[in-house]
Amino acid sequence: MIALVVIAALALPVVIGTAVVIKRALFDDNDPPANPLPMVAPFGRVGFRIDDNPTVRCALLASTQAQHEQGMQGMSDLRGYDAMVFAFAETKLVGFINHFVPIDLSIGWYDERGVLVDHTTMNACPTGKDCPVHASKDPFRYAIETPIGGLEAMGLAETGAVVHVGGSCT
């Protein structure tokens, strides 16, 4: 009986120490917080900054042809993201259609340096029928969509606005 008490007394610090290590591994307050924004299939996510502001915002990222075609179809909000960024491998001049999108959107087009080229409003076209094509007046590398007024609120629709796309947004 005394042997069991001695073994238990010796084992207790090991059990407590193990519990503390596990707790720290799972709940360490020094770790950066996980990104609370949900992943939205089929898109990635990307950070972006505006002008010289160091604040990193978070956008859904459409970087493939399939993602470009999907865009905001069927979405009535950005699920907590600040914008949807359409990134192209090279400068383009392609049109955007707000088909099957139930909300009005602001869209801005930005060149390879992130400088605003053009912007407009795209009205909702939830039926996908007879939706107008919206195009920039000049070639662009990035297109950024927000619910209507979002570009203006962030300062991305002003002449001379510059967006810096890239990196994490955790």
Range scoring the smallest mean pLDDT among 29-43, 47-61, 82-96, 145-159? 29-43
| pLDDT band for position 152 (cuts 50, 70, 90) | very high
Output helix, strand, coil percentages for the chain, rounded to the nearest 5. Answer: 20, 30, 45
- Three-state DSSP class for 107? strand
Neighbouring-strand partners of residue 48: 57, 165
Write the burial class of residue 52 (CB in 10 Å: 0-12 exposed, 13-18 middle, 19+ buried): exposed
* Residue spans per domain, the chain: 1-31, 44-165
Nearest to 70, CA basis, from 60, 80, 57? 60
Average pLDDT over residues 53-66: 96
pLDDT tens for each residue of 66-115: 999 999 999 999 999 999 999 999 999 999 999 999 999 999 999 999 99
Chain centre distance of CA 129: 28
SS (H, E, C) 39-67: CCCCCEEEEEEECCCCCCEEEEEECCHHH
pLDDT at residue 10 is higher than 90? no
Higher pLDDT, 48 or 9: 48
* pLDDT on residue 135: 95
Share of the chain above pLDDT 70, in %: 79
For the whole model, what pTM was predicted? 0.79
The hierarchical CATH code for the domain 44-165 is 2.60.120.1140
